[in-house]
Structure 1
Amino acid sequence: MNVDPVHVRAFGPTALLAEVDDAAAALALATWLREHRVAATEVVPAARTVLLDGLDPADLGGARALLAGWRDEPAAGDDAGQGRGPVGPVVELPVVYDGPDLDDVADLWGVSREEVVARHTGLELLSVFCGFAPGFAYLSGLPQEWAVPRLDSPRTRVPAGSVAVADTWCGVYPTVSPGGWRLLGRTRTPLWDVDRDPPALLAPGTRVRFVVEDPS
Structure 2
Amino acid sequence: MSSTKTDLVQQATLSPLGDSAIVVTFGERIDYEIHKKIKMFMDTLEVHPFQGFIECVPAFTNVTIFYEPLQVIKANKGRTIKDFISPFEIVSSLIKEKLNEVSDEGELKHRQVSIPVCYGGDYGPDLEHVANYNNLAKEEVIHIHSNGEYLAYMIGFAPGFPFLGGLSEKVATPRRSSPRASIPAGSVGIAGMQTGVYPISTPGGWQLIGQTPIQLFLPNQNPPSLLQAGDRVKFFSISEEEYEEIKRKEGEK
Query: Could you say which TM-score interval applies, normalised by the shorter chain?
Result: 0.7 to 0.9
Query: How far does residue 46 in structure 1 lie from its aligned partner after superposition?
Result: 1.1
1:49 aligned onto 2:62: yes
Higher helix fraction (1 or 2): 2
State the alpha-carbon separation in 1 of the partners of residues 36 and 219 from structure 2.
26
Segments of 5+ residues of structure 2 without an aligned counterpart are 73-86, 242-253
The root-mean-square deviation of aligned C-alpha atoms, in Å, is 2.1
Q: Decide which of 106, 111, 114 is 1:92's aligned counterpart.
A: 114
- Secondary structure (helix, strand or coil) at the match of 1:41 reads strand
Greater Cα offset, 8-17 or 160-169: 8-17
**Contact persistence 2:175–2:191 (CA under 8 A):** yes
Q: Report the counterpart of residue 32 of structure 1 in structure 2.
A: 40
TM-score by length of 1: 0.86
1:149 aligned onto 2:149: no
Q: Report the counterpart of residue 23 of structure 2 in structure 1.
A: 17
Query: How far does residue 144 in structure 1 lie from its aligned partner after superposition?
Result: 4.5
Q: Cα deviation per residue 1:125-145 (whole Å; 9 max; x = unaligned)? A: 111111111111111111346
**Contact persistence 2:148–2:168 (CA under 8 A):** no
Percent identity over the alignment is 32
Q: Report the counterpart of residue 246 of structure 2 in structure 1.
A: none
Aligned length: 206
Query: How far does residue 202 in structure 1 lie from its aligned partner after superposition?
Result: 1.0
**Contact persistence 1:26–1:46 (CA under 8 A):** no
Q: Report the counterpart of residue 195 of structure 2 in structure 1.
A: 170
The 5 A counterparts of 1:60-99 are: 60-67=92-99, 70=102, 73-74=103-104, 78=107, 86-98=108-120, 99=124
**Contact persistence 1:135–1:200 (CA under 8 A):** yes
**Contact persistence 1:29–1:75 (CA under 8 A):** no
State the alpha-carbon separation in 2 of the partners of residues 64 and 133 from structure 1.
31
State the alpha-carbon separation in 1 of the partners of residues 183 and 23 from structure 2.
32
Q: 1:17 to 1:175 in 2, by over 3 A?
A: same
**Contact persistence 2:145–2:171 (CA under 8 A):** no
Segments of 5+ residues of structure 1 without an aligned counterpart are 79-85
Query: How far does residue 170 in structure 1 lie from its aligned partner after superposition?
Result: 0.8
**Contact persistence 1:89–1:206 (CA under 8 A):** yes
State the alpha-carbon separation in 2 of the partners of residues 131 and 26 from structure 1.
18
The 5 A counterparts of 1:87-126 are: 87-98=109-120, 99-126=124-151
Q: Report the counterpart of residue 82 of structure 1 in structure 2.
A: none
